Structure 1
Amino acid sequence: KYPASWAARTTGVDEDVLVEITDKYANHGPSILSFGFGGGEKFYNADVAGHAAVLLATLVGSFGTDIPGWGAGAYVNAYQKIFGAGKLASWPLPDECKTAPAPKASVDYRDEESGIRFMWVQNGGFQQIAGNQNRTNEWAKTLDFVVVQDIWHTPSVDWADIVLPVCSHFEVDEEVGFLRALRGHVLLQQKVLDPLFESKTDFWIDCEMAKRLGYGDFLPKSQEELARFQLDCATDKAIAGITLDEVIASNGVVALKNQPEIARSYSGQTYKTTSGKIDLYYENLVKHDQALPQYEAPCEAYEENPLREKYPLVMTQRRSKYFIHQNLMDATWIRQYYKPTLEMNPGDVSSRGLASGDMVEAFNDRGSFSCECVATEAVRPGMAVIVEGIWSQYMGSGDLQNVTNDAVNPRGKALAKGRVTPFNDTLIEVKKA
């Protein structure tokens, strides 16, 4: 169904190159299909590529082998240091206190189905977790109440009815802070300095909220009391016997118990499937014609899409060395080296009468934003590239998510991790601002 000639036409990669790659992958291993978090999985039908990758890796014997260098996915070392997590004891709450059910991953939180009327934002910008920002803004206007608990003035703060300024993780109002049991260790947050200005710790805010709801007497009186309980009452064998005093004496880091030094990533694994083996044929996707991976064009970003006459450029988001997602976005000492730009191929820049450094407007039917453009051969013709996570206050105007795709694939409800947000499956046009 998919000969090399078809693949060459579809991808723009020469057929002989595809044949060479296929031969090297299948017959001259060990080989790894390694994909990260920031590109192809932000397309409307990214699950097809993931399914195909697992299928290929299984066919060539990448899983269960004792030879290093085989695998598929984001973490693929055949031999690696295990970084396990331990389960700390949970502080007991009154019987009438229940955990509220979270919306399913397949549900768009902006839909009526989500039932969200009130939003409490902690340490993040809700603007960055969905495409089509203008729709998100209209949804936010319908909420009854918004609280933002953060140290930074993220774009979410501008939507807040109440802002609760928290301190950083270096600032604690007692010597012992939060406890974690992950990455192979028990990890303790310890005080470096007092909370600055009028900021408070997350723990203080939690306790004060509990008091106002009539449950103040049921919570630990201090973070130290909570940390001791979490360790002393833990039933997890990886934590058993580790005390808070030991963690403090070890400068806040103690290795979990019984952790193997080296593990084989795929050897002897069982899976949460009906057979306990790798499923190649997905019974629950038969009705979507994806029981085996079948090629589908993207939602917007495909060559024959009639919409390309109006919006001919595919916009994709990439990472930056200057910040991580949104983190450090407002750091003045970093912003002196970085400013938002839209990167385009020199041919696409010149054909629009533009030059590097021009302020441009990127737009489609969903919305628009403006920033400077940069001509670079690093971007292939027909593409426009921008760094993800940029706050709207640093753009010339608008928000980069104003234009991004938020189409919902009906197959998403059948997927283990829910639907895909197709940020990169987006068509735009660019003109001088």
Structure 2
Amino acid sequence: MRQPQWLLIAVVECLFLCISGHCAYHNRKYITRNIISMHAGNVTELVHRCSSTKCCASYFRLVGNQAEVMLEGELPSKQKYHSMSEQSLYNLDKEENLSCVDGEAVLPLCSCRTATPRPINSADLEIQQAIGRGHFAKVWQGKYQGSVVAVKVFHAGCKQEFSSERDIYELPLMEHSGIARFFGAGKSLDGGSWLLVLELATCGSLHHLLCDKRGSWMASMKLSQSLSQGLAYLHSDLHRQGTHKPVVAHGDLSSGNVLVRADGTCALSDFGCSTILRSCSGRPGWDSLKIIADCGQVGSLRYMSPEILEGCVDQGWSLVQADVYSLGLLLWEIWMRCSDLFEDGMVHKHTLPYETELGSSVTLERLLLYVSQMNKRPSIPKRWERETQGALLQELVTDCWDHEPDARLTAQCVVGRLHALQTIHSV
């Protein structure tokens, strides 16, 4: 089966140069998913002569083995910048002053994240019974420092997947009710397994809940609001008291990757396919700080947006818009189990998106034909159109899964629409 090219791996390097020949530079190379190598040192071969100043910042795109200058800009003087010797993002704790010998100190144009490591004390961790299994890890119920927790134990050879998910949880300002609480990460006592310790959601996944129970209007609204609020926070670009949380695209939203607490609220989890985005001064839009691999081979194919299925995503913000498409499918799943939207409460059994139309096992080719070429979506009951609330829900869902990414709502707009819908219902 042909596999799509999820992202064009266009390698962009931020190089900080001056004409003196002995200059500081900051180089990011995207190698594979979850791996970033960084260097700082002297430029000997890639020399870009600034047009109007001794020191400037130049953005390069690597095409094959050739570097092409994309943008040049003058830099402020006498500024520090953070540089890293080759290391993983987990160890971003080294700070240096680098400057041109005959020029002035340089400052990166792009905002950088710093990880906040939360190592666990394995001696305080008690693993009890197994409660779930995924592609990369097995999930156990356990106890950690007096709290009942979920322990995600990654399979042998999955350190890269562990590091990827841990890096998301350890971003600054990632504490939010719509995101699974993170206690810490580390290794098992025998040193053979990598662990993530998370909050235990007693209702399991959203998929499990929807299969097991139908919901009232208020229960469905609580699920929808908390889910949308969590995604809106994940997509937010926050700066608080000198701390920065960049935008994060989840990349693998599905009802199996959303947890449900005892109080009926949702929490996002499973960030193995997530992408950190960074905003760049002087450049419009967003760039990926990390490139995702072919998550469709192990992820949730039926939740992928048309552009992801087609392999046409070429910029970071597209991944955020793809999340909103997935959110639309999740909202459809939730409200299709709402008894108040069906006559006499006769709710059909839970089905996954496109399961009715394409069956329980979907292929990329069939999804491309149905979703992308035919522009079809999961069916919505006709009864929804005859009621104000149902019609507004239909409009909300269809505005999320619009074929055109730029026409889709933002997650924050979804939060606002749901609040308005709740207000109408309460009147």
Regarding TM over 0.5, the answer is no
- TM-score by length of structure 1 reads 0.21
* TM-score, structure 2 as length reference: 0.21
| Between structures 1 and 2, the one with greater strand share | 2
Who wins on radius of gyration, i.e. which is larger?
1
**Structure of higher RCO (CA pairs closer than 8 Å, 6+ residues apart):** 1
